[in-house]
Amino acid sequence: MASTGLKYEKQPLYYGGKRQLTTSTFQTIDPSTDTPLADIFKADRSSIHAAISSAKSAFPSWSTTPPIERSRILLRAVALLRKHNDELAVIETHDTGKPFSETSTVDVVTGADVLEYYANLVAAGGLNGETTHLRPDAWIYTTKAPLGVCAGIGAWNYPIQIALWKSAPCLAAGNCMVYKPSEFTPLHALKLAEIYTEAGVPPGVFNVVHGAGDVGGMLTSHPSIAKVSFTGQVSTGCKVASAAAAGMKYVTMELGGKSPCIILPDADLENAVDGAMMANFFSSGQVCTNGTRVFVPQSLLRKFETRLLEKMGDVRAGDLMDPNTNFGPLVSKPHHEKVTRYIRHGIEQDGAKLLYGGAGKPKSVANSNGYWVQPTIFTNCTDSMLITREEIFGPVLCILPYHDTAPNWLDKLVDRANDTPMGLAAGVFTRDLDLGHRVVARLEAGITWVNTWGESPAEMSVGGWKMSGLGVENGRRGIEAWVRNKSTLVEMGGAVATSFSKL
Ligand code: NDP
């Protein structure tokens, strides 16, 4: 317990390899109880400038450190992350409201995996270019150069994972980063910065500034920022991308979705129900790749609904540190208001049939002051309803029945699945793998699954199509977002092929 009576000490900014204070603070709240957890120092213009300056000073040396040496340092950070896994997971549970059963097995683990992946990739030649033998006396080679000082701006749903998915390839490629976590979930950032420092990452290479959208805006528009890697809502992403475009900055945009989860008539029922539940209730539905539009054939509808209802007892809200709890509250009061507004809209205005749940709290936590909402299922949904068109980002599963005997039913189904401005994820459940591949090939989304949902390992490049984003994170392709390429043509003949010789 910190001296303020709050659970955590005051959280400073971090730059120049040390903790830094400012003149104003804000609070982060435990969403499971609606009580403050810590005071956070808020960045102002001068501290943002100082953080960027420290990154600029660190860049010449870090960017020219051989990749294998950078890799050794980053691998030490991986070991520290794994050593402190449970301690970091507890912080994430307090800050986000996600159960410890989840944060201890997913959030830190998948972040550390990505850091390990990129540390190993750059050590093994992942930043090498290509050579082309153009003609006997000329060749071309390409090199990859780091971009400079990059901004990382994170969302609140996977705080430490997002911080690592951005900083891992950024630092491995030789860049420096100024990272701004969401003001709703800032607690992981200091820990991560200090782990990097303990591992040997030089001062100024990874820096943290705290605050809300105005701080993100100042970072994005700062002339010394070469790239902005952003995770958040489509509407914010549009603002950030246009601010970055004004300075011709590189961007990666990881934005929201309204993804289709397609159950084909021959699907294994148990697998389809498990997939649809993972695609809607994991992390209390606060996952960008959620498959919130669940298309179910009329021929399977009744069985699907019955089995889904039977399994809803396995969604367990409760004490977040209890290993059996697998469902937490929503992250914040405003987000709780937003999600419950959508649920009420679904019942009162969209006229969808409420199959399970609703806008109240789960019974097991009915007396809590936290931002809990029941896992909720609507059925008989149509494509024009607000709840099937907009990203809710909560535990709200919408069943959209389709006729699987009508002529061209598959074409119509694919058209309906694609009928959204977003294109983050999509998935299909079927026993017929040929059909599964053919359907996936027609879905307009950057991340797709066949007979599973949600796994996103370090090796898999992920990124949205359409309004869901630009570029990818993770996998071999992910490193390309943090370098610029240079092509060099070398003439070995010793004479310039000039047009200006004497006649
Ligand atoms: P927001 O867009 O509200 O915020 C994201 C980040 O941007 C926060 O740090 C926020 O600050 C900051 N921000 C707000 N305004 C600006 C601005 N004008 N300039 C720069 N930065 C700004 O998203 P949420 O935090 O609500 O996150 C949920 C969203 O993230 C969902 O839509 C989800 O789908 C998406 N997401 C996408 C992922 C992907 O990989 N595609 C992964 C995870 C989430 P602050 O919050 O402190 O005000």
Condensed to tens digits (0 to 9), the pLDDT of residues 176-207 reads 999 999 999 999 999 999 999 999 999 999 99
**Ligand 1 atom, smallest distance to 228 CA:** 20
Q: What is the pLDDT of residue 440?
A: 98
When pLDDT is averaged across residues 136-140 and rounded to a whole number, the result is 95
In the chain, what percentage of residues exceed pLDDT 90? 97
For residue 390, how far is its CA from the centre of ligand 1 (angstroms)?
A: 16
Asked whether residue 465 is assigned to any structural domain, the reply reads no
Residue nearest to atom 9 of ligand 1 (CA): 182
pLDDT of residue 394: 98
CA-wise closest residue to 90 among 109, 110, 104, 106: 104
Provide the 10 A C-beta neighbour count for residue 354: 15
441 domain-assigned: yes
Residue 1 has pLDDT above 70, yes or no: no
Amino acid 5: pLDDT? 83
pLDDT 10s digits, 150-166:
999 999 999 999 999 99
Q: What backbone torsions phi and psi does residue 337 show, to the nearest 5 degrees? A: -60, -40
Name the pTM for this structure.
Answer: 0.97
Mean pLDDT for 237-266 is 98
* Shared domain check, 118 and 24: yes
Q: How far is the CA of 288 from the centre of ligand 1 (A)?
A: 11
pLDDT tens-place string over residues 396-430: 999 999 999 999 999 999 999 999 999 999 999 99
Select from 233, 290, 336, 462 the residue to mutate for testing ligand 1; criterion: most ligand atoms less than 8 Å from CB.
233
Reduce the secondary structure of 223-292 to three states and give it as a string: CCEEEEEEECCHHHHHHHHHHHHHCCCEEEEECCCCCEEEECCCCCHHHHHHHHHHHHHHHHHCCCCCCC
Give the pLDDT confidence score for residue 391 in this predicted structure: 98
Catalytic residues: 254
Indicate whether 485 pLDDT > 80. yes
Please say if the pLDDT value at position 4 is more than 80: no
pLDDT recorded at residue 503? 87
Residue 470: strand, helix, or coil: strand
**Are residues 179 and 206 in contact, defined by beta-carbon separation less than 8 angstroms?**
yes
| 86: pLDDT strictly greater than 70 | yes
Q: In whole angstroms, what is the distance from residue 52 CA to residue 177 CA?
A: 8
Mutate which of 157, 209, 280 for ligand 1? The one with the most ligand atoms within 8 Å of its CB, which is 157
First-to-last C-alpha distance (Å) of the chain: 87
Cα separation, 418 vs 445, in Å, equals 8
3-class state of residue 477 by DSSP: helix
Q: Residue 221 has what pLDDT?
A: 96
Beta pairing class for 149-153 and 176-180: parallel
CA of 182 to the centre of ligand 1 (A): 7
pLDDT at 424: 98
**Closest protein CA for atom 19 of ligand 1:** 217
pLDDT grade, residue 3 (50/70/90)? low
Same domain, 302 and 404: yes
Q: Who's near 316: CB < 8 A, 6+ residues apart?
A: 324, 325, 326, 327, 364
Which residue's CA is the closest to the ligand 1 atom numbered 48? 212
Close Cβ partners of 157 (under 8 Å, ≥ 6 residues apart):
96, 283, 286, 287, 288, 331, 393
Provide the domain limits for residue 75: 13-128+148-247
- 387 close to 398: Cβ distance less than 8 angstroms: yes
Tokens of 181: 């976590």
Tokens of 160: 């430490």
Same domain for 222 and 175: yes
Same domain? 183 vs 298: no
Q: Rounded to the nearest whole angstrom, what is the distance from the C-alpha of residue 235 to the centroid of ligand 1?
A: 9
Long-range contacts of residues 484-487, Cβ cutoff 8 Å, at least 24 apart: 484/144, 484/145, 484/147, 484/250, 485/129, 485/142, 485/143, 485/144, 485/145, 486/142, 486/143, 486/144, 486/145, 487/140, 487/141, 487/142
Question: Atom 40 of ligand 1 has which residue's CA nearest to it?
Answer: 254
CA distance 374 to 100: 19
Whether residue 82 is contained in a domain is answered as yes
- Does one domain contain both 326 and 430? yes
Are 238 and 285 in a shared domain? no
70 within some domain: yes
Which residue shows structure tokens 């709840």?
387
Residues 302 and 329 in one domain: yes
Domain count for the chain: 2
Ligand 1: lining residues by beta carbon, under 6 Å: 153-157, 180, 182-184, 212-213, 216-217, 220, 231-233, 236, 239-240, 254-257, 288, 391, 393, 424, 464, 469
Helix (H), strand (E) at residue 28: strand 25-30
Average pLDDT, integer, range 107-119:
98
Which atom of ligand 1 has the smallest separation from the CA of 211?
47
Q: 48: closest CA among 265, 219, 172? A: 219
- The predicted-structure confidence for 30-43, as pLDDT tens digits, reads as follows 999 999 999 999 99
Residue 473 CA, closest ligand 1 atom number? 40
The answer to whether residue 220 scores a pLDDT higher than 80 is yes
462 CA closest ligand 1 atom index: 40
Q: Residues of the chain with pLDDT > 70: what percent?
A: 99
Cβ–Cβ under 8 Å, residues 425 and 292: no
140 CA → ligand 1 middle, Å: 41
365 & 326 share domain: yes
**pLDDT over threshold 70, residue 2:** no
User: Do 162 and 216 share a structural domain?
Assistant: yes
Q: Which of 247, 269, 302 is the last residue of a domain?
A: 247
The mean pLDDT of the chain is: 97
In angstroms, what is the span from residue 213 Cα to ligand 1's centroid? 9
Torsion of CA 493, 495, 501, 503, to 10 degrees: -40
